[in-house]
Amino acid sequence: MPVKVLVTSVIQKVVDNQRAFTSEGRTIGELISNIDSRYPGFREQLADEQGVLHRFVNIYLNDEDIRYLKGADTELTDGDEVSILPALAGGA
């Protein structure tokens, strides 16, 4: 089941400088694993060694924060859009 994945510039360097691409998975966790197998190092941008998503990484499924769904176990369907946005900090 193809899913559209959108990433910010922080992650683009790991996915051949693509802002958007398609991948597959039945859940967010499986999607991340599939992307990581295609682009080694992808998972490291999002999760710790145990696979737990970093709290500063925001993942949205069709504009809904997966933290309020089932986290990495959130199920995906054909045509879904997943946005992955690491939190940015800064200022003067």
Per-residue pLDDT of the chain (92 residues; tens, 9 = 90+): 799 999 998 899 999 999 999 999 999 999 999 999 999 999 999 988 888 888 889 999 999 999 999 999 999 999 999 999 987 655 55
- What the block records as the tokens of 89 is 């900090």
What is the per-residue pLDDT for 86?
Answer: 84
pLDDT of residue 36: 96
DSSP state of 22: E
* Structural contact between residues 46 and 28, judged by C-beta atoms closer than 8 angstroms: no
pLDDT at 52: 86
Cβ-count burial of 76 within 10 angstroms (0-12 exposed, 13-18 middle, 19+ buried)? buried
pLDDT at 27: 96
Q: How far is CA 44 from CA 1, 27, 50, 70, 82, in A?
A: 24, 18, 10, 21, 18
Domains of the chain: 2-86 (3.10.20.30)
